[in-house]
Chain A
Amino acid sequence: MYELQDVNKKIKKSLKKVGIGNKSSGSYVLDNENIFLNLINERYKKKLVITDIREGLKKYPWIKKYFWKLIEKNENNLTKKINNDLNGGYFIWIKKDAKINLPISSCLLISSDNYEQKVHNLIIAEEGSEAKILTGCTEHNYVNNAKHIGLTEIFLEKNAKLNFTMVHSWKEDTIVRPITRVELKEKSEFVNNYVCLTKVKDIKMNPKIICKGKNSKAISNSIILSKKDSSIDIGTTIDLMGENSNGEIKSRVVGSGSSKTIVRGRLNGKNKCKGHMECNGILISKDASIHAIPELDAKNNKAELSHEASVGKINQKEIDYLMTRGLSKENATNLIISGFINANFLKLPKKIEKMISLVFKKHLNLTEKHII
């Protein structure tokens, strides 16, 4: 087990914001465009490659067939920007049948004002491999007006299993544009978890997961705490193309302050498949808004797709009940909200759950000004 001993205090503090600690099978940290850390635990050196994408393309030319495969370079302004001026990104290669028990961690950091970070990440999980990745995107506390544009292409080969947990921790003046595309081959399983508990100026993201192979399975969970005047537009699209493919989208959103949150979900049933979507939102202030847009699109009569959605304020009966147990209104509300968006909902691997539990503890302490 290695320690992140080479990392200075400033970086450590930022890594902590997204739950990244010491115990990883490998780590990649990008600070603006500089590779700050790129380490692999000795135990996993034969099973795992983690490197900067620019290095990866030179060292492993075969990965070019995966690079820009799931999205066109000219798809939109963001992809054009990444293609024209790449600042880095990780390449993670989990080799055939490798079982990586410790989480792989990555952190994309921004360290200067007005910086627009453009990254392109590539993950290849080979046949029969199993791994969990915790990736955090954040900036140092002193950074102002940053913009993060991150493209991630993920490939799961036959029977591969990958848990991909992304924690965002931004500031109120940051603009964030992640683009994620995932392709699943036969019997592979992908779990996508997204957590954002801090205020942010503007996030727009809608990862697309393509269940291409027979019996492939995708689960996408999001936990969002929208604060102050944050504008958040997040969603997941799952294309169920393989026979007996399975997709599940779940989101829990709490809207506070004057935040505006749009939660999208789309299941495209293109074969005999099953898909379910759940979106639950709680509004805890009179000026916040949550707009749930669940979409089901079945193009095969053997597709079974369903959804349920609810948005509203906290049930007064729950607050009353907890107040009769001696809790103030504020504490009762906090307890209900932390139950509503707790880490258990994500069904995280134990080690990652432990890593991000502190992030939850820190941000789920709402004060009277959030609750109206």
Chain B
Amino acid sequence: MTLLKIENLEVKTEEKKEILKNINMNINSGEIIILFGPNGSGKTSLLKSIIGLPNYKKTKGRILFNGKDITEKKPNEIQKEGIALAFQNPPEIKGVKLKEIISIISKNSVEAMHAVEELKLKKFLERDINVNFSGGEKKRAEILQLLLMEPKLLLVDEPDSGVDIESMKLLGKKINDYVKKKKASAIIITHQGEILKHVKAKKGYVMLDGEIICSGNVKKILRSIKKNGYERCMNCKMLIKK
């Protein structure tokens, strides 16, 4: 069953710069999708557009979630529909403690504390969110919040960058277990594909210049990117255009 359907989506920034075009995507319940692409290809913009951040203006197309049009909805409304985003670079908010956000988002405080301990974040509860957190600590705090929101669709932006092997294993396992247990879906952005060792994903997409240029078996795509870089994708795109 289709959970998320993106049709002909075109997105511009407030300054009218085109950042996404002709985006078409289907994600079924229980499916984990991997997004590849070089820096600046539009991967993060796609996730931020799905969650409805205001600087990403949808100028064409639509996004359907569970059959419902969420194209014009605000981030808090989209979150309530069941989509949650783990940021690649979350902002630091002085004076707002991690525990305050957890108490706002979590539905079950016992489970929340269990997850806090599993992700080794107990001593960060009293700290201002993301302030002086290391890269790995930020990732763990993001995944913690993501899971506590209990979404049907997880948007995960580079969970494997700047994270040590042990933490990555832990984060990957948490995401995979959640998807399996809740029959949820996920879109995960990765560069090196390390997270693929810990999550079960079959389908991959490659983005270039704000467009999805190919999709297919995730392992094949990763092998090709590792072997040939995105050079071949670019050539491939040019061939398609011709």
Contacts and interface: CB of A to CB of B under 8 A. Distances in A.
B105 A325 contact: yes
A301 interface: no
16 contacts: A317-B91, A318-B91, A320-B53, A320-B55, A320-B75, A321-B91, A322-B93, A324-B75, A326-B76, A326-B105, A329-B76, A336-B93, A338-B95, A339-B95, A339-B128, A344-B95
Contacts of B53: 320, 324
Contacts of A327: 76, 104
Given A339-B93, A339-B95, A324 B54 contact: no
A326 B80 contact: yes
Given A316-B55, A335-B100, A339-B128, A324 B95 contact: no
B90 interface: yes
Contacts of B91: 315, 317-318, 321
A336 B96 contact: yes
Interface string B81-105: 0001101001101111000110011
A324 B148 CA distance: 13
A322 B100 CA distance: 11
B145 interface: yes
Contacts of B79: 323-326
A330 to B, nearest CB: 10
A180 B51 CA distance: 52
Nearest to B102: A325
Interface string A286-299: 00000000000000
B143 to A, nearest CB: 14
A72 to B, nearest CB: 41
B74 interface: yes
B55 A324 contact: no
Interface string B209-235: 000000000000000000000000000
Nearest to A340: B95
A285 interface: no
A308 to B, nearest CB: 14
A206 interface: no
A324 B146 CA distance: 10
Contacts of B75: 320, 323-324
Nearest to A252: B95
A323 B76 contact: yes
B149 interface: yes
A101 interface: no
